[in-house]
Amino acid sequence: MNTNTTSSSEKLGGSLTGIRVAITHDKEQARDQSELFTALGAEVFFYPSIEILPLDQEGDLDVALREAIAGKYDWLVLNDADTALVVGERMQAIGVDPNQIPRRLKVATIGCMTERYTKEFMGLDSAFAPDIYDVDYVAAALKLKPGVRVLLPQSSVTRMGLAKVLNNTGAEVTAVNAYRTVIGKGGDPVPLLLWEGKIDCVTFTFPTAVRYFIKRLEYEGGTLAMLDHVCVACIGPITTATARELNLHVDVLPDQHTIEGLVNAVAAYFQET
């Protein structure tokens, strides 16, 4: 098992020809990642680890969005692309026009693809979109003042780390359950491919994907031992910490916590091995 962590923040011209990569999302969610890997010559497989399901309608999220329209909040913080998608869908469902949102409400988008999804599904521009997703860094960079009101929609299984750190700045944080995640299905037969030694790398872009990947793998007859000689690549420190908590080794952690940074770091890893 390789336990060294490789990082890279530069655009690489190296080849991944012959390298077989399993992405823990479906084709639509992983489109950009797939295109970048394919452009470097990798063969890509898809193994959706999670499925996003809405919570009961007319719940806390709807109330919070209506309060945002009424001017209750100063910041809307979206910590992943799935949250941006779900919030955008709920805005449309309850008839919230993005043009109705007060200009004083700033939007922070954290994590890969979140800024793009916020623009695409919510029609909103980001005032804060860091490349690095570390809760302490995010809290410091936002420079929130005591009394600032923050709306933080998130998955019902998301840990309260970000909410707690933001609260520690003196901000008034309202964390709202926006959706729930369940084990994914479909995609390619990755457990079989792992058993046959036909996967060289598995990528993870957020913590929940790690947890549900392991659950799905075990449910379908696989074990973590199948990944002993497979490169495990995580997009950021929180995803990496989750993987290690679950006894999964991590070989690649990019300096820039973006899809491009992840792909480049994987290319650097295989150039060095």
* The pLDDT value given to residue 4: 46
61 and 151 assigned to the same domain? yes
158 and 200 assigned to the same domain? no
199: phi then psi, degrees, rounded to nearest 5: -125, 130
Q: Is 143 exposed, middle or buried (0-12, 13-18, 19+ CB in 10 A)?
A: exposed
* 8 pLDDT higher than 50: no
Does residue 177 lie within any of the structural domains?
yes
262 and 232 assigned to the same domain? yes
How far is CA 164 from each of CA 26, 156, 169, rounded to the nearest angstrom? Answer: 31, 15, 9
Residue with tokens 């979206």: 78
132 and 164 assigned to the same domain? yes
Q: What is the mean pLDDT of residues 110-126?
A: 84
Q: Is 199 helix (H, G, I), strand (E, B) or coil?
A: coil
Q: What is the model's pTM?
A: 0.75
Rounded-to-integer distance, Cα 25 and Cα 50, Å: 7
Per-residue pLDDT tens over the stretch 215-271? 999 999 999 999 999 999 999 888 899 999 999 999 999 998 888 999 999 999 999
Domain boundary among 151, 181, 211: 181
251 and 131 assigned to the same domain? no
Rounded-to-integer distance, Cα 140 and Cα 86, Å: 27
Rounded-to-integer distance, Cα 124 and Cα 16, Å: 36
Domain boundary among 153, 181, 209: 181
182 bridge partner residues: 51
Per-residue pLDDT tens over the stretch 71-116? 999 999 998 888 898 899 899 888 888 888 898 999 999 876 788 8
Q: What is the CATH number of the domain that holds 68?
A: 3.40.50.10090
Does residue 99 lie within any of the structural domains?
yes
Residue in 9, 11, 14, 13 with CA at minimum distance from that of residue 273? 14
Does residue 7 lie within any of the structural domains?
no
Domain boundary among 159, 181, 203: 181
How far is CA 224 from each of CA 142, 199, 252, rounded to the nearest angstrom? Answer: 38, 13, 17
234 bridge partner residues: 204
Q: What is the mean pLDDT of residues 45-50?
A: 96
Q: Is 233 helix (H, G, I), strand (E, B) or coil?
A: strand
127: phi then psi, degrees, rounded to nearest 5: -95, -15
Rounded-to-integer distance, Cα 246 and Cα 196, Å: 23
**Which of left, alpha, beta for 143 (phi over 0: left; psi -120 to 50: alpha)?**
left
Does residue 246 lie within any of the structural domains?
yes
Alpha helices in 144-236 (DSSP H): 161-167, 190-195, 207-219
Residue 144: CB partners within 8 Å, gap ≥ 6? Answer: 75, 150, 166, 169, 170, 171
* The pLDDT value given to residue 2: 40
Q: Which domain holds residue 168?
A: 53-181
165 and 75 assigned to the same domain? yes
DSSP state of 179: E
Does residue 3 lie within any of the structural domains?
no
Per-residue pLDDT tens over the stretch 23-44? 999 888 788 899 999 999 999 9
State the DSSP string of 18-43: T-EEEESS-TTTTHHHHHHHHHTT-E
Per-residue pLDDT tens over the stretch 126-178? 999 987 777 888 889 999 999 999 999 988 766 668 889 999 999 999 999 88
Q: Which helix (H) or strand (E) holds 61?
A: helix 60-69
229 and 165 assigned to the same domain? no
Q: What is the mean pLDDT of residues 113-126?
A: 86
DSSP state of 160: S
Rounded-to-integer distance, Cα 45 and Cα 34, Å: 9
**Max avg pLDDT among 5-19, 134-148, 184-198:** 184-198
Rounded-to-integer distance, Cα 190 and Cα 101, Å: 44
* The pLDDT value given to residue 29: 79
Total number of domains in the chain: 2
How many residues can be counted in the chain? 273
* 10 pLDDT higher than 50: no
239 and 157 assigned to the same domain? no
176 and 192 assigned to the same domain? no
